[in-house]
Amino acid sequence: MNEKITKILFARHAESKHNPEKICSSRPENDTGLTVRGKRLARQLAERLKKERINTIYSSHLPRCLQTAEIVSKVLKKKVMVNKNFREPDMGKFELMKKTEIEKKFPSLAQKWFHGDVTNIKAEESFKSAQKRVWQELEKVSKKHKGNKILIVTHQAPIKFIVCKLFGSLKFFNNFSLSNASLTLLIKKGKKYKLKYLNDISHLR
């Protein structure tokens, strides 16, 4: 008996207003949405996804993801389902702080967070806890939509959590990065996931 193959496409949201200044933002009330460039990137992402035959679209509840997902949904004519478990880790006291400010005020923490092993990094929510949350939700969604192609519009950190889980450790978190409006594809057969491609930006101009 052949196992059904489930395809999960992760899209990082398009450029937000906080991205150019590298501002930490994990709460909806602080999310100012996409830039003009971000909206253009989201439209290019939508055009790329037209050929993918997406069955279901999920999105983090933060405005930068929702705006990206809504632009895509209009082109694909698919409803967006909001899922808070695909959100960023809660930044706590680091909320709305710039990366440069964190590096200045918390140099030891910043070194691990931005350049080293994030296994023990904790803001309001630990990275370990956030990774567990995102992975558990991925398992639920992939089982619910077994054999389909799913699009999840989320943030850089949750996608990196998933990839790090596949490779066995959060210590790999800073070994790669994901561009705005990029695509990452996982294939699931049975209980096993395989990373098909990472950070595809061939559709962006």
Whether pLDDT at 8 is above 80: yes
Q: Where residue 159 sits, what CATH number does that domain have? A: 3.40.50.1240
Distance CA 198, CA 205 (A): 18
In the chain, how many domains are there?
1
**Whole-prediction pTM:** 0.97
Amino acid at 145: H
Structure tokens that stand for 173 in this block: 């978190």
Q: Does residue 38 lie within any of the structural domains?
A: yes
Calculate what percentage of the chain has a pLDDT beyond 70.
Answer: 100
Q: Does residue 108 lie within any of the structural domains?
A: yes
Residue pair 32/63 in contact by the 8 Å Cβ criterion: yes
Distance CA 149, CA 76 (A): 13
Q: Which residue has the tokens 């400010």?
A: 101
Other beta carbons within 10 Å of 147: 12
User: Is residue 38 very low, low, confident or very high in pLDDT (cuts 50, 70, 90)?
Assistant: very high
Q: What is the pLDDT of residue 2?
A: 72
**pLDDT digit string, tens, across residues 96-118:** 999 999 999 999 999 999 999 99
Q: Does residue 205 lie within any of the structural domains?
A: no
Q: What is the pLDDT of residue 1?
A: 55
